[in-house]
Each structure stands twice: as C-alpha cells, then as structure tokens.
Structure 1
C-alpha cells in the first residue's frame, strides 16, 4: 500500500505544530518539525542561533533530517502521514535569507515528493516569538510568500488553510483529503 505524505507548512507562528499535535491526538500518524531540535542541539554546543551564525550548515542538517523523515514516511504502513514542514521549506527559507546553496537542495526537492501540501497563512492574532522563533510578523509574511513560491516551483498546488480554531482547521484539512 502506498501511503499519502501530507505536508502542513506555513511561516513561523501560523499554528502548524498545534494542528500536527491535534491530528496526532486524533489518532493520525505525524512527523514533527525538526528545526527546533537542531537549534537546541547547537545551543548545547554553545552556538546560540545556528541558523543565523552558520546558515548553510543549519540548512544541510535540516535537509538531511527532512530527507530522513521522508524515507521514514515512505516505509510506514499507515494510510496517511502528516509532516510538519517538507523539504521545499528548506529552500524557501534559504531563498528568503539570500543564502546560496548547492544543487543537492533542489535535487532533493525534485526527488522526494509529497502527495498534498497545506499552507497556513500568517495570522497576527496567534503570532508569538520565543527563544527559537526570532522572526517578526512582517518577516513571517515574507516567509509565507517564499514558502508558497517554493512549493509552486516544485510542482505542488498548496491548499491554503483558513484561520480558525485548531479543530476547524484540522477538519478543513481532513475534509480536503476526503473530498
């Protein structure tokens, strides 16, 4: 059985992780965001913001982790696997920051495919920053546009998820998959 790999993406503070956690609580299989883990590991090694201090190294670690998640999703015998961000997110952020990157990044985007992409729009009412999320809301708006462009570039048609409660947004996603 070939499973469906479903990406939930969006700029910082759009509710991705909340939706992933909700879907998981409803019995769906979910793979969580890996960038915070990479940031925390770097902080343990004395690098406060790896993404700012060594953006290419951060992105290489992120690309490797997201490729590993894709491989994990392919191997799972679940009908649907939800992923908190996908491989094209890495390229979108690098484009946003103007970071040059080797061809392996675009090759990974072309080779590792997903079945559906749900894009969460910036939502000022729920946006907060913290120790791992340093972007302003205006920057989140720009990142959203880079994410949308990245997924379109790699042949996807992202479905924009309307704002609302976590359960209503999750229902929208499930209804879009079942429809």
Structure 2
C-alpha cells in the first residue's frame, strides 16, 4: 500500500498545488494539501487553529487530516499523489511543540520510497490570504522537511524549476 502513496512536498509556494492540479488533469489520483483545507475552514469560521495563531493546534489538525486522507486514499486508483502528507504535519508538530512524533508515526505510516520535493523558488513565491509567512520562513520549513524525510530513509527527488507540465512529466517518468 505505501508504495502506491506518492508525496509531493517541499517549500511553501513552490508550485505543489498547481502540480497536483496538472496530475489530476492527466487522470491521476490526487489528495489536496491538508494545511490549505484547514486554513480555509478555520478562516471561514471562528477557528484559531491557524499556523500564524496556534501552530501546534494547526499541526495537530493537519496530522489528523493526513491520517484520514491515507485511509480514504486506499479506495483510489494507484498511484495516489499527495500534496504534502503525514510527515509534513509531523514536522510542523515537532517544530511547534518540541515533540518527536516523526520517528514513530512516520515509520508506521510510510509512503512511496521516493518523495518529490519542490525547492524554494523565489520567482513564483507569493503570499496570499492562506499563506502569510515570508519567503525566509518558507525556506526554513523546506529545510526541516528535507531533514524529516531524510531521517525516515526516503529518497528525495528535487523537482526542476520548470513549467508545470515538465514537472508532471518528471514525476510520471519515475512510474513508467
């Protein structure tokens, strides 16, 4: 099962969601980013589990949603491409709280051995209503994610800074 779950992770604002949209357009199974869904829901209500208000609460919700996403994705045709995943949520939780949830939960809930990483790309990066941190914070998050996935033994594949179609081709070439 874990080999059919493929994570696209990396720097916030580096084009991951756009890439997942392209993979979906090509008929691939995709799971959207938990963090974006949480922020949208929290902003629509009176929620406080926003990364710029309470990162720990946000990360706990992201962890729960990532686990739900994994359970739901078992019914989708393989491979299933995830816009971020459980390891991303655990890295945020560990950063916010100083816990070490990555080692136990990260090993128990594996993804495909290759994780595709979108590196910092200042030319396309921008803030919006759901992404309020600056580029330096996004780059620091990227570094934490590289360390987290590496510590779990994943092989990181850095995505090219290229048009979205070329990035999708780069990923899909690994599965042909």
TM-score normalised by length of structure 1? 0.88
For 1:141 and 1:24, locate their aligned partners in 2 and report how far apart those are by CA, in whole Å: 27
Shift of 1:144: 1.1
The range that moved more, 48-57 or 157-166, is 48-57
In structure 2, the partner of 1:111 is: 108
Deviations 1:53-74 (A, max 9, x none): 2222211111010011111223
In structure 1, the partner of 2:134 is: 136
In structure 2, the partner of 1:18 is: 18
For 1:31 and 1:40, locate their aligned partners in 2 and report how far apart those are by CA, in whole Å: 16
2:81 equivalent to 1:82: yes
Contact map agreement 2:117 2:159 (CA 8 A) in 1: yes
- Aligned partner (choices 152, 157, 160) of residue 158 of structure 2: 160
Q: Secondary structure at the match of 2:52?
A: helix
For 1:10 and 1:136, locate their aligned partners in 2 and report how far apart those are by CA, in whole Å: 15
Classify 1:2/1:147 alpha carbon distance in 2 versus 1 (closer, same or farther; 3 Å). Answer: closer
For 1:126 and 1:88, locate their aligned partners in 2 and report how far apart those are by CA, in whole Å: 24
For 1:63 and 1:26, locate their aligned partners in 2 and report how far apart those are by CA, in whole Å: 28
For 1:153 and 1:118, locate their aligned partners in 2 and report how far apart those are by CA, in whole Å: 15
2:96 equivalent to 1:99: yes
The range that moved more, 99-108 or 60-69, is 99-108
Deviations 1:98-144 (A, max 9, x none): 42255655432111110131001011111010011012112222111
Say what the alpha-carbon RMSD is for the aligned residues: 2.0
TM-score normalised by length of structure 2? 0.90
Contact map agreement 2:8 2:16 (CA 8 A) in 1: yes
The range that moved more, 44-53 or 148-157, is 44-53
- How many residues get paired? 175
Structure 1 stretches lacking a partner, 5+ long: none
